[in-house]
């Protein structure tokens, strides 16, 4: 079944893939921010007021999902001001540059890379120099360095762990790294199966096995 199913993969750039389920889930993640103008009758929708019809005063703190933040963010019309989430800030970037392998990206993410790439869309007009240095530094140093320094571990784990319980290895990986891990494991497993001669045997597809169909002999008896 897996060969005949072509899911839309995550975009991992400035633009997400419209039909990618991973990207849709990723864009649900919340961003800290604050309202730069009063938003009438929207307090309830943004999870703050007590009854429908309350308006949101200027300057109130907000937690906005990424998709909404992208829609509302505009460098000219000041509707909302967005902050960087703390894992993309200076302090955490220092941690990543020290040793990216110790960070539990699944707890931080689980879409650390995708979400971080999307954040590059909001270069802030108030403080362009800060935004630019943050984004620049964060893009070229942090995000990529993180990926690069974690690459070896993902590779070694996925290529060496044959017939082992991999749940402990995978627990700290970001979704992107998990997909990569699965690709590595598949290569290894396919090769091992072939080497042992399992590949030449025809087996029932996993779809049929999961059906729980009774065997013909069981029906007879």
Partner 1 sequence: MEPAEAEFLAEKELVTIVPNFSLDRIHLIGGDLGPFNPGLPVEVPVWLAINLKQRQKCRLIPPEWMDVEKLEEIRDQERKEDTFTPMPSPYYMELTKLLLNYASDNIPKADEIRTLVKDTWDTRLAKLRLSADSFVRQQEAHAKLDNLTLMEINTTGTFLTQALDHMYKLRTNLQPGQSSQSQDF
- Does 88 interact with partner 1 (rule: CB under 8 A)? no
The first and second tokens of residue 91, run together, are 């302090």
- Does 26 interact with partner 1 (rule: CB under 8 A)? no
- C-beta of 121: minimal distance to partner 1 in Å? 10
- C-beta of 139: minimal distance to partner 1 in Å? 5
- C-beta of 73: minimal distance to partner 1 in Å? 17
Task: Single out the segment in contact with partner 1 by CB under 8 A; choices: 34-42, 58-66, 74-82, 176-184.
Answer: 176-184
**Alpha-carbon span 12 to 117, nearest angstrom:** 7
Tell me the site size for partner 1, rule CB under 8 A: 37
Per-residue interface string for the shown chain with partner 1, residues 31-70, x marking contact by CB under 8 A: ----------------------------------------
Residue 141: how many CB atoms within 10 A of its CB? 13
- C-beta of 143: minimal distance to partner 1 in Å? 6
Per-residue interface string for the shown chain with partner 1, residues 118-157, x marking contact by CB under 8 A: --x--------------xx--xx--xx--xx--xx-xxx-
Query: Which residues make up the interface to partner 1 (CB under 8 A)?
Result: 12-14, 113, 117, 120, 135-136, 139-140, 143-144, 147-148, 151-152, 154-156, 158-159, 176, 179-180, 183-184, 186-188, 190-191, 193-195, 197, 199-200
């Amino acid at each position: 079944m897996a060969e005949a199913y072509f899911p839309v993969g995550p975009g991992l750039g400035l633009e997400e893939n419209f039909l990618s389920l991973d990207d849709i889930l990723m864009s649900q993640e919340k961003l800290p921010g604050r309202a730069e103008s009063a938003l009438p009758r929207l307090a309830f929708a943004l999870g703050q007021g007590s009854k429908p019809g309350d308006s949101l005063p200027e300057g109130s703190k907000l937690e906005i999902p990424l998709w909404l933040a992208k829609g509302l963010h505009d460098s000219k019309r000041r509707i909302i001001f967005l902050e960087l989430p703390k894992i993309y800030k200076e302090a955490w970037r220092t941690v990543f540059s020290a040793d990216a392998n110790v960070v539990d990206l699944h707890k931080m993410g689980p879409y650390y890379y995708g979400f971080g790439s999307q954040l590059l869309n909001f270069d802030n007009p108030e403080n362009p120099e800060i935004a630019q240095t943050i984004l620049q530094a964060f893009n070229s140093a942090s995000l990529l360095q993180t990926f690069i320094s974690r690459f070896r571990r993902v590779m070694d784990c996925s290529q060496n762990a044959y017939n082992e319980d991999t749940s402990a290895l995978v627990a700290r990986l970001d979704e992107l790294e998990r997909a990569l891990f699965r690709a590595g494991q598949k290569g290894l497993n396919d090769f091992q199966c072939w080497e042992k001669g399992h590949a030449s045997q025809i087996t029932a597809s996993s779809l049929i096995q999961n059906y729980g169909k009774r065997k013909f002999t069981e029906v007879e008896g």
